[in-house]
Structure 1
Amino acid sequence: MTRIDATFAALRAEGKKAFVAYVMAGDPDYERSLDLVRGLPGAGVDVIELGLPFTDPMADGETIQLAGQRALESGMTLNRTLQLVRDFRAGDDTTPIVMMGYYNPIYNHGVDRFLVDAREAGVDGLIVVDLPPEEDEELCLPAQAAGLNFIRLATPTTDDTRLPKVLQNTSGFVYYVSITGITGAAAAQAGDVAPEVARIKAATDLPVIVGFGIRTPDAAQGIAGVADGCVVGSAIVAAQADGKTAADVLSFVKTLADGAHRA
């Protein structure tokens, strides 16, 4: 059982929904990024999604693209991202960390070496947005054999024919993308999301977590109310980009977490 599995089992036992926070590793620099990540569990975050900076983030909107650029300009690399996880793990051995990004940096690092390094650092799961199920032998299956959850994205365009393929080798949880398009592009609507979540849950026993387009505590509550939890990314990254201190950003994160936990 991974930390992700254990966390969702504990939440289920308590009748609680999950709050997942996305932040970009190394934004705006290593030390401030580490301070923020270290503070997330205390702000109510159940699972941390840690963005891996990449030069061509095709699924991301401007907010997260700019965060990735800031991180890269500050010297962030895959190795430094793994070091950030190690530094976090020195004080927290329970909060799950999901690394979210693109295949190119992992491929360049070497898949076998990456999986060893990620496990050693304390990574629990991967979301690799540009590897479809047809490429599961590239990373998904080796990752699961190494003890890492491989989390797949389902979208409004994932129809009943495609859904079984998407779910086939998914573990940890299913990430439902609530809108078509890039991150931060539109607001998620619980009424639109609910039937899609129900359709996915009819096909899997995994938790279904909804992300994209959630910016407020009320939205977090509404979306978590029709799913097993929600993810907020762009709104948190934008708050950090406004020059707020880690304490200010964490205060904002707590309001979102509280919203999700009220569901």
Structure 2
Amino acid sequence: MPTAIAVTSADLALPAQDERTLPAVVLQDLDRRPLEQALLAVRALTEQHGHLVVVCSDAVPAGVERRLRTIRSLLESDRIALFRPGLPPLGTAVLARQLRQLASCDLGPGVLASAGRLLTHYLHAGAVLGSLTRLDRIPVDLKAHARSWVPGSQFAVLAHPEPRIVRLGTPGADLPGPEFGTCLLVARGQLQSDWVNSSLAPAWRAQGLREVPLPAESADWWGTGRAIEFCAHLPDLPVLYQLVASVRRNACHWCGLDMIGDRCVFCSAVPPVHGELEPYAGRPPTG
């Protein structure tokens, strides 16, 4: 069985992108269920699929993350990976779907799990907001805060890959977009605006635009429910697979899984340091 990709709420399980996209495992209300029941459910998943990758956003309730770590500890298992990409909820859902696409390919669990960190670099995630007063995940200067109190003001905010805030209706109110072809996913909340469709999509040369419901965690992440969240992403499985397959792989010295990068997502081990460190030679160390 392929590696299972799990999310912590149903609205993070986006519809399949193609016929090969595997369904997401939804760990709904994990912190509200009895511990024994949740433990048995996660154990059954690892026994069925071999490995489990749980993707959750930064806005996931603290109780859910504690429950996940408790379950992983009680199972004494290094076959469960907890991945928090630091993206807004819609971007997190897109990344989880990309991993579901790749789960159907001939990628080992270590490579698949660590591919999430690689694919994060190819996402552009943000939102149109009606207020910045409670936005605390992105730096907001005093001038932008003051402007957000003006009735009717709207702001375009880019959270990833580079934070940027512009006020709609002002000259040069645009956001830096991807330099490669992407599709645009849009989730509308309690805000009326056509800026994403009429301005952002053409400026970013989006090859397609689809709409989905706004994730429940988005209101907490952006500090307001008056938001329209968007995420530009690579939709095609061959492109995703080529990106992952072209990266050099390493074997984890602790659990033996092949992985991308220098840290195993499952056991968190890093390569051991052999020998003495060389003296500083006048330039920053690499790696």
Taking CA–CA contacts closer than 8 Å with sequence separation of 6 or more, which of the two structures ends up with the larger relative contact order? 1
Common fold by TM > 0.5: no
Q: TM-score, normalised by structure 2?
A: 0.29
Structure 1 or 2: larger helix share?
1
Larger radius of gyration: 2
Q: TM-score, normalised by structure 1?
A: 0.31
